[in-house]
Amino acid sequence: MMSLVDHPNVLKAYCSFAVERSLWVVMQFMDEGSCLHLMKIAYTEGFEEEAIGSILKETLKALQYLHHHGHIHRDVKAGNILLGSSGAVKLADFGVAACLFDAGDRQRYRNTFVGTPCWYLITAFVSHSLSLYSVTLYVLVIFLPQDGS
């Protein structure tokens, strides 16, 4: 799927190939790594609110593009948001992504849960309709310090 999308906030896959039983994917290099990695090594108290806003804005642009083209990521989390030293923000890891087109008709939702369970939205268990507000609020909680400040 990654080779089919073209958006500045979606990690680009250049090509893929198999060697014996391993699949290799050649992708853009994001020199700062994932948000999760950065929080573990440099921002142990969490990112500042301004940084969270910038990262969320760019991540939501990627999600909007994907949703507009009938794709859902299904595993958005700090470890799948990559940063570059130039300020680039890219959504990555489309291993459990899905297409919302079935036999040419667009489906309204998927009937399966995949991804990383501890990152699921509570509303995913209650309702099939998730608002942009609930997703934004959830992602904010991921990036805020865990000490209650």
> Residue 77 and residue 139: Cα distance in Å, rounded?
8
Q: Which of 6, 31, 75, 105 is catalytic?
A: 75
> Residue 70 and residue 144: Cα distance in Å, rounded?
30
> Residue 58 and residue 96: Cα distance in Å, rounded?
21
> Residue 38 and residue 7: Cα distance in Å, rounded?
23
Q: Give catalytic status of residue 93 as yes or no.
A: no
> Residue 143 and residue 50: Cα distance in Å, rounded?
11
CA distances from 148 to 15, 46, 94, 144 (A): 44, 11, 32, 9
In this structure, what token pair is assigned to residue 114? 């995949």
Residues designated as active site? 75
